[in-house]
Amino acid sequence: GAGVSQSPSNKVTEKGKDVELRCDPISGHTALYWYRQSLGQGLEFLIYFQGNSAPDKSGLPSDRFSAERTGGSVSTLTIQRTQQEDSAVYLCASSLVGGFGTGLSYEQYFGPGTRLTVT
Amino acid sequence: QKEVEQNSGPLSVPEGAIASLNCTYSDRGSQSFFWYRQYSGKSPELIMFIYSNGDKEDGRFTAQLNKASQYVSLLIRDSQPSDSATYLCAVKGGYNKLIFGAGTRLAVHP
């Protein structure tokens, strides 16, 4: 079956512009996560969706960052007024279920990522 | 103190040897631990998970967990050049989010 897909694969934008990054999770996966990987910070959690709700937004670095998920499927991460420090690879992951349990259903599978460069 | 700590490496081992990758974590209540492999320019790939103290084996990979010492490790037996990658240790936090270490770069030389 298809894995997690993300688009675009690469995005170059000018400082101050808004960008939208898209994630299409594995079919049937109810939980969706956004992470960011940058040279200085490693791989860091941004936001978690269960269905269309986001019970954990604790990793969003500023109010310039927002995300939504519709139809329990596709998610969009929006960065407004981009800054150079936003340059990173944005990774999306999904799991069959989310929450506080353990087991195979909670395993997260990553998409290929979107490399964002802010010039 | 970082929540998940790994030696950044590089860890260099000869082909056929055992590679030992280590990770410590700060939250004593953590229950679930994961090893991801990441090739350069690619996204992380789940290779092992472990929930219980002791060893868990899967092919050439063995994960070891010691909750009392807050320590998790990954052993790769019969290392191959294709194992050369960055290995990320992750601990499950609230709401199933993953908290990652900075990763250890492994280089297997022929």
Span A52-71, pLDDT tens digits: 999 999 999 999 999 999 99
For B27, the token pair is 């939250």
pLDDT at A23 over 90: yes
What residues of chain A lie within 8 A of the CB of B99, using their CB? 45
> Which helix (H) or strand (E) covers residue B64, if one does?
strand B61-66
Which residues 24-83 in chain B show a CB within 8 A of chain A? 31-32, 34, 36, 42-46, 49, 51
Considering CB atoms only, which of B95, B101, B103 is closest to A98? B95
Q: CA–CA separation, B65 vs A66, rounded Å? A: 36
Task: State whether B44 and A43 contact (CB < 8 Å).
Answer: yes
Residue B85, min C-alpha distance to chain A (Å) = 15
Task: State whether B100 and A42 contact (CB < 8 Å).
Answer: yes
A3 contact B CB<8A: no
pLDDT in tens, B33-91: 999 999 999 999 999 999 889 999 999 999 999 999 999 999 999 999 999 999 999 99
User: What φ, ψ does residue B24 adopt, rounded to 5°?
Assistant: -120, 155
For A63, the token pair is 């109010």
